[in-house]
Amino acid sequence: MNGRPAFLSVQGVSKRFGGLLAIGDAGFDVAEGSITGLIGPNGAGKTTLFAIVSGFEKPTTGRILWRGEEITGRPPHLLARQGIARTFQIVQPFAGLSVRENIAVGAFLRHARRADAIAAAERVAERVGLGRDLDKPAASLTVAGRKRVELAKALATEPQLLLLDEVLAGLNPSEVRDIVPVVRAIRDGGVTVLMIEHVMQAVMNLCDAVHVLAQGRIIAGGTPAEVVADPAVIEAYLGHGAATRLGGGAHA
């Protein structure tokens, strides 16, 4: 790291909802220019942790640092202006608007003039494979199309850090194969990516580093190959069959 602070650093974060400890003393770093995965069973606290990083929730304890600056509890609209964007697990496009107009909603963060926002939206649409769908009502799209709109809206805010919350969920294998290179191209275009994902083959192929959250705690971290071989991860999340299948699949 050459003495520089981590691009994103989650430090000792805990979150309580009444008597429920949703996250307990979670910590990890994300390197600039990486695709970093956050995996683990349903209910492990992954989306809650995303909500804390992106300002939608405040931690009970702990802090979030971005480029060495503490951003803990800063509201989402200010974090978006600083360059942190996120997608949501349940995609809800503006049903009455076209694909172009949906993406432009994100672009207005950086472009005050409508014409500029529309032009930016069209450029982003091409990047995520929606160039032919710009005039379609967002409500008419398939699940895969709506996922791409959600991705495009976040990308249109011109982030430096993009948080993807299960962008592959609900997609069939061919749709997953189609969107994996889109995510990789976003990183190659200069956007650091932190992604929650259950599609482990995609995690193996995309991620430089993976952190595993189980029952609110980070139980492992490392390269995808290291993580799928970790006995604690196999026990808590993958199971032996999946671990064996994935063992030879890192960066295939």
- 64/21 Cα distance (integer angstroms): 18
Over the chain, what is the mean pLDDT? 89
Hey, which bits of the chain come out as E strands? 8-17, 20-30, 35-39, 61-66, 69-70, 84-86, 161-165, 192-196, 209-214, 217-222
Assess whether pLDDT exceeds 80 at residue 244: no
Q: What per-residue confidence (pLDDT) applies to 41? A: 86
At residue 230, the pLDDT reads: 83
Query: H/E element holding 239?
Result: helix 239-246
DSSP string, 14-83: EEEETTEEEEEEEEEEE-TT-EEEEE--TTSSHHHHHHHHTTSS--SEEEEEETTEE-TT--HHHHHHHT
What pLDDT digit, counting tens, does each position of 59-91 carry?
Answer: 999 999 999 999 999 999 999 999 999 998 888
pLDDT of 158 over the 90 cut: yes
DSSP state of 192: E
Q: Is 49 left (phi over 0), alpha (psi -120 to 50) or beta?
A: alpha
Cα–Cα nearest to 67, from 29, 104, 103, 97: 29
**Measured CA angle at 146 (ends 136, 246), to 5 deg:** 145
Record: fold of 1-81+162-252: Rossmann fold (3.40.50)
Quick one: pLDDT band at residue 251, thresholds 50, 70, 90? very low
* Contact criterion met (CB below 8 Å) for 233 and 211: no
Structure confidence by residue, pLDDT tens digits, 135-149: 999 999 998 999 999
pLDDT band at 245; cut points 50, 70, 90: low
**Residues 4-51: pLDDT tens digits?**
778 999 999 999 999 999 999 999 999 999 999 998 888 888 999 999
Residue 190 CB-density burial (10 A; 0-12 exposed, 13-18 middle, 19+ buried): exposed
% of the chain residues with pLDDT over 70: 92
Residue 99 has pLDDT above 80, yes or no: yes
| pLDDT tens for each residue of 192-225 | 999 998 888 888 889 999 999 998 899 989 998 8
Give me the pLDDT at residue 250, please.
42
Domain boundaries, the chain: 1-81+162-252, 84-158
